[in-house]
């Protein structure tokens, strides 16, 4: 029997109506246009809050891959709801959103898990996790005929990052895209959030994933999916794709008008 991961946050993080969802994403893409084309993209960084807050920032990243021919998209997400040691790739057949089902790339999933002590196929981290799910409707609008490998990092320490980056570097090709799903600092004043988030921005701009990981470990900055961002950058570096561009940075206060406790968002592209 087919195992499909049903939408967990439709109607909360994004519209549950297919027509309203399509309309909202199209509007976000129309307001987040880039002045130039970026080629040879290996991955993007995209936030994962409700579309009302972070959708525009995400749309800048998704505009860079619009109508490109990716066959598989690897989505790397932190685990917000459950802790587990290791990295979980969804073991079912598809992820579903209001825009339809997206098939899991079973071959690539098995290649990433084969012989690994830390990466496994399972349901851990996928039951109610929003950070993978909110990326998929954007992908369904900008791409066609693609599969996904949904990955949730139960633990984002250096050992797991290195293992995943190494394996990704050996399995991805020009038809593969990596999406690192991450927000930045949480619930600081706008001023403090800007100071913390600018550290992440500078490290990405400088393609300094080691510096970013060190600052995350030393708590000089915050990103709930920091391990996903570092994994994307390191796996790209291992295949000599080492250019980066930060596309947009914002925070929830830009929408809510409340600057006392904000959540930070950033989108970026990694390319060659």
Tens digit of each residue's pLDDT, the chain (272 residues): 999 999 999 999 999 999 999 999 999 999 999 999 999 999 999 999 999 999 999 999 999 999 999 999 999 999 999 999 999 999 999 999 999 999 999 999 999 999 999 999 999 999 999 999 999 999 999 999 999 999 999 999 999 999 999 999 999 999 999 999 999 999 999 999 999 999 999 999 999 999 999 999 999 999 999 999 999 999 999 999 999 999 999 999 999 999 999 999 999 999 99
Query: CA 124 to CA 162: how far, in whole Å?
Result: 20
Dihedral over Cα of 256, 140, 237, 269: its sign? negative
Strand pairing report for 176-181 and 72-78 = parallel
User: What are the chain's domains?
Assistant: 37-271 (3.40.830.10)
Query: CA 100 to CA 218: how far, in whole Å?
Result: 41
User: HEC string of the chain?
Assistant: CCCEECCCCECCCECCCHHHHHHHHHHHHHHCCCCCCCCCEEEEEECCCCHHHHHHHHHHHHHHCCCCCCCEEEEEEECCCCCCCCEEEECCCEEEECCEEEEECHHHHHHHHCCCCCEEEECCCCCCCHHHHCHHHHHHHHCCCCEEEEEEECCCCHHHHHHHHHHHHHHCCCCEEEEEECCCCEEECHHHHHHHHHHHHHHHHCCCHHHHHHHHHCCCCCCCCHHHHHHHHHHHHHCCCCEEEEEEEEECHHHHCCCCCEEEEEEEEEEC
- Residue 43 has a pLDDT of 98
Q: Which residues contact 195 (CB under 8 A, 6 or more apart)?
A: none
Query: CA 129 to CA 72: how far, in whole Å?
Result: 20
Question: Closest Cα partner for 267 from 243, 249, 244?
Answer: 249
- Residue 36 has a pLDDT of 93
First to last CA, the chain: 41
Question: Closest Cα partner for 136 from 104, 109, 97, 182?
Answer: 97
């Amino acid at each position: 029997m087919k195992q499909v991961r049903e939408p967990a946050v439709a109607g909360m993080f994004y519209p549950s109506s297919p027509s309203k969802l399509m309309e909202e994403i199209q509007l976000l893409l129309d307001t987040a246009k880039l002045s130039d084309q970026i080629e040879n993209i290996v991955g993007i960084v995209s936030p994962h809050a409700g579309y009302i807050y972070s959708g525009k920032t995400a749309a800048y990243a998704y505009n860079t891959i619009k109508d490109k021919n990716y066959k598989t998209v690897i989505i790397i997400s932190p685990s917000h709801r459950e802790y587990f040691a290791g990295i979980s790739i969804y073991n079912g057949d598809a992820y579903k959103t209001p825009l339809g089902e997206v098939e899991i790339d079973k071959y690539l999933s098995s290649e990433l898990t084969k012989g690994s002590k830390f990466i496994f196929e399972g349901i851990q981290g996928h039951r109610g996790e929003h950070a993978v799910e909110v990326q998929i409707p954007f992908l369904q609008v900008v791409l066609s005929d693609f599969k996904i490998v949904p990955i949730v990092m139960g633990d984002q320490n250096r050992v797991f990052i290195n293992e995943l980056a190494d394996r990704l570097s050996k399995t991805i090709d020009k038809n593969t895209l990596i999406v690192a799903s991450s927000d930045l600092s949480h619930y600081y004043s706008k001023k403090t959030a800007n100071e913390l988030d600018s550290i992440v921005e500078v490290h990405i701009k400088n393609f300094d994933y080691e510096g970013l990981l060190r600052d995350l470990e030393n708590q000089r900055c915050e990103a709930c999916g920091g391990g996903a961002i570092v994994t994307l950058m390191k796996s790209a570096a291992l295949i000599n794709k080492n250019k980066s561009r930060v596309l947009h940075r914002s925070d929830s206060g830009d929408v809510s008008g409340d600057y006392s406790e904000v959540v930070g968002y950033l989108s970026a592209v990694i390319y060659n």
